[in-house]
Amino acid sequence: MRLSELKNGEKAIIVKILGYGAFRKRVMEMGFTKGREIEAILSAPLKDPVKYSLMGYEVSLRRSEARMIEVIKIEENSELEKENFHGHSLIREAPSRPPGTFHTESKTINVVLIGNPNCGKTSLFNVASGAKEHTGNYGGVTVDSKTGHFYHNGYRFNIVDLPGTYSLTAYSPEELYVRKYLRENNPDVIVNVVEASNLERSLYLTTELIDMDHSMVIALNMYDELRRRGDRLDYELLGKMIGVPIVPTVSRTGEGVNNLFDTVIKVYEQTSPEVRHIHVNLGLELEKAVREIREVLKKDPYLNQHFSPRYVAIKLLEEDSDIESLIGENARDKIAAVINKYKERLMSSPESDDIPTRIADEKYGFITGALAEVMERSGKKDVNNTKVIDAFVTNRLFGFPIFIIILLLIFWATFVIGAYPQAWIEDFVAWTSQLVNDFMPDGPLKDLIAEGIIGGVGGVIVFLPNIMILYFFISFMEDSGYMARAAFIMDRIMHRIGLHGKSFIPLLMGFGCNVPAIMASRSIESRSSRIVTILINPFMSCSARLPVYVLLIGTFFEPHAALIFLLVYGIGVVVAVFTARMFQRTHFLKEETPFVMELPPYRIPTFKSTMRHMWWKGKQYLQKMGGIILLASIVIWALNYFPLRSQDSSTPEMQSKLEAGLPNNQIDTGHDSYLEMLGKIVNPVMEPLGFTWRSTVAALAGLPAKEVIVSTLGVLYTGDEEVSESRLGSKLMAENPVTGHPDFTSPEALAFIVFVLLYCPCIATLTAIIRETGSLKYGLFSVLYNTSIAWLVGWIVYQIAILF
């Protein structure tokens, strides 16, 4: 933790001082050294600065400065077990020590993983920390930082997985995020994960990290692919040339990971012989410019504390707007004069390239020269499986049919294969309900358990196999590299509707869950495309809606289930396209952004990784069963159970007799439940879509979470029947004694499915929309617009379905 987080009266032990230059030197001179005890005394009236007690005297620090000092609370201080790393999680609780003691061998190393997309960074994070983060073989999977920790050789490693990035400029949100993290957290050691089979491109980011002058180790990942190709790389010599130790790793299997963190310890302890600070030479004129700008920057204490002056100077030459905003007015004018002077010189040279181009050329020249000395290519021409597969899946004739066939296969497997375990779970739920009905005495408690809890939660949990099968296929597509090809073949279509090809990946992820899909939109550089992608993402049918589809399609459209599934998902896509076109023509100015996205090589996903992702999503689904769905089922049961009526009038038969002759929406306060009253109040708006009050109530109950819809139908249609006597689908098809016809027929079922597909996003999705757009108005717009469009499309579908 940081010293700024220490509460008044709490004591801690100083672990390390972060930052650069004068600040670090000054506080260490004042006694802020490793192992020293410090206590937070009091905060100023405005909470800043804070007074601390140290070595018998008191000192005040601003919270921004205190944040640069890492501490550990005395009561948490313990000796770390010295364990060897074996390629899996080593998280163990260390034995406690008496308060006030500090073991000098107990150390913490803060490590961040930085690398290009698709370099295996998150796989390395998973194998090191034992975390369950999903890895995908395309850019943009890690859209935020992930944290974990483990113990190794007497050290606690706090490890952070940062988003994949190609450089440290101000071009994309990932780049800005990584740079901001490095500025504010200043890790002890950077692990730069590079792809062994694509070194020339990967090492460009390395040169920028060298400019930043951080302690660093290079993880030469996917080293098995380089060996398989027959290439030879003298990575030890390369490490000496660039002053950074290089360790070959295969994060997929854990090979080399033990050695990697041993090397991190050596770098941290400053005992690694390879470590030395070098400058990637930028040419005579640019080096002169860098030196002049550095002289100006030395007078700025903030920049000296958070950045290497050379890195800042180079970024200012590249006219990096984010770095320019950190420079004071006086320094800004002086630096601008220097840059303009060298611009004129460079433009008058024979090459006449601009400064950013010259910098990139010099860095790639350095990389090419270094690799020429250390790499020996085999010249062996292997069969390129990626090219062979791409010849079909990205072909202009076969690409789209293959994509549609894959979607049909997913929907078929989700419905047909999932039906078998679904039936087993359904039988178990029915058996459980039968036990309750047989052995519990009649009364509200029995009704709550049998109808509210088992009827509600059980009605949703039966769809767990379908959810897991869907996520299995999504995970496989991501890990194999096909997801990036789907974006590639869809770019032209996305461009036609005013979006970027990268928008397709978040939209496709929306079929799993809209929340992470909306977060994945951060990888889209264009703000207008990013916001439009976020707003249309809820039209991508997430897995939470799947139980509704499986229930109703299985009941009313079983012979054509896969086609109806495809039709429903297609309606969502069509509405999303229409909405995007409308936004681009009326609200957002169209931004032309280049489609730049890496197409990674195809890789066979590991069975373990795919199954782990599938189980992780299934676990989240089960957790939701015991949370919001259980609570919603109990509330809905209570609203449907109360007010209490006489025994005779509470049965479905008596209710139907009492309601006979009354209009469908007329409220009878003497016999209607609270839930029925609510449904009848709202139902006139929904009647044109064929809704009854029960289906209206189910739709309202789905506002917090769409899974609640099926549990609500389960509660509403269970009545006093034993659950085992009939399935929910048959109850939906049964004739309503009041109206004389079933509440659901094929047209009503289809209209209900379409309405659920399109209407107001769930609470979690709305929260994600507001957070990612930074505006409440977009969240409110989604509620109003999506519900309106759902009603309109549902009505159209209902009218068409009646004709057939």
Mean pLDDT of the chain: 78
Q: Report CA 479 to chain centroid distance, whole Å.
A: 15
Which of 639, 636, 632, 670 lies closest to 654, judged by CA? Answer: 670
pLDDT for residue 661: 42
pLDDT for residue 101: 39
pTM value is 0.63
pLDDT for residue 111: 94
Tell whether the model's pLDDT for residue 197 goes beyond 60: yes
Residue 660 — pLDDT band, cuts 50, 70, 90?
very low
pLDDT for residue 391: 82
pLDDT for residue 432: 86
Residue 516 — pLDDT band, cuts 50, 70, 90?
low
Separation between Cα atoms, residue 141 and residue 120, nearest integer Å? 11
pLDDT for residue 404: 83
Tally: H helices and E strands in the chain: 37, 13
The dihedrals phi and psi of 663, each to the nearest 5 degrees, come to -60, 150
CB 725 within 8 A of CB 668: no
Q: Per residue in 781-795, is it b (16+ CB within 10 Å) or e — as a string?
A: ebeebbbebbbebbb
Bridge partners of 219?
193, 247
Report pLDDT digits (tens) over 138-173.
555 555 678 888 888 888 899 999 888 888 876 667
Strands 69-73 and 57-61: unpaired
Residue 610 — pLDDT band, cuts 50, 70, 90?
confident
Separation between Cα atoms, residue 248 and residue 38, nearest integer Å? 41
Sign of CA dihedral 503, 508, 510, 512: negative
Report pLDDT digits (tens) over 272-325.
888 888 888 888 888 888 888 888 777 766 666 667 888 888 888 888 887 877
Which of 237, 240, 236 lies closest to 248, judged by CA? Answer: 236
Q: Per residue in 70-101, is it b (16+ CB within 10 Å) or e — as a string?
A: bbbebeebbebeeeebeeebbeeeeeeeeeee
Q: 99-108, 121-130, 358-367, 520-529: which has the minimum mean pLDDT?
A: 99-108
CB 21 within 8 A of CB 30: no
Report pLDDT digits (tens) over 760-785.
988 778 877 887 888 889 999 999 99
Tell whether the model's pLDDT for residue 699 goes beyond 50: yes
Report pLDDT digits (tens) over 9-65.
888 888 877 765 556 666 765 677 777 888 888 777 667 778 888 876 677 787 877
Q: Report CA 419 to chain centroid distance, whole Å.
A: 30
pLDDT for residue 64: 76
Tell whether the model's pLDDT for residue 70 goes beyond 60: yes
Separation between Cα atoms, residue 449 and residue 718, nearest integer Å? 12
pLDDT for residue 77: 57
Residue 382 — pLDDT band, cuts 50, 70, 90?
low
Report pLDDT digits (tens) over 418-464.
888 888 887 888 788 888 888 888 878 887 887 767 766 776 677 67
pLDDT for residue 665: 62
Separation between Cα atoms, residue 728 and residue 743, nearest integer Å? 13
Q: 44-48, 80-84, 719-723: which has the minimum mean pLDDT?
A: 80-84
pLDDT for residue 669: 57
pLDDT for residue 777: 92
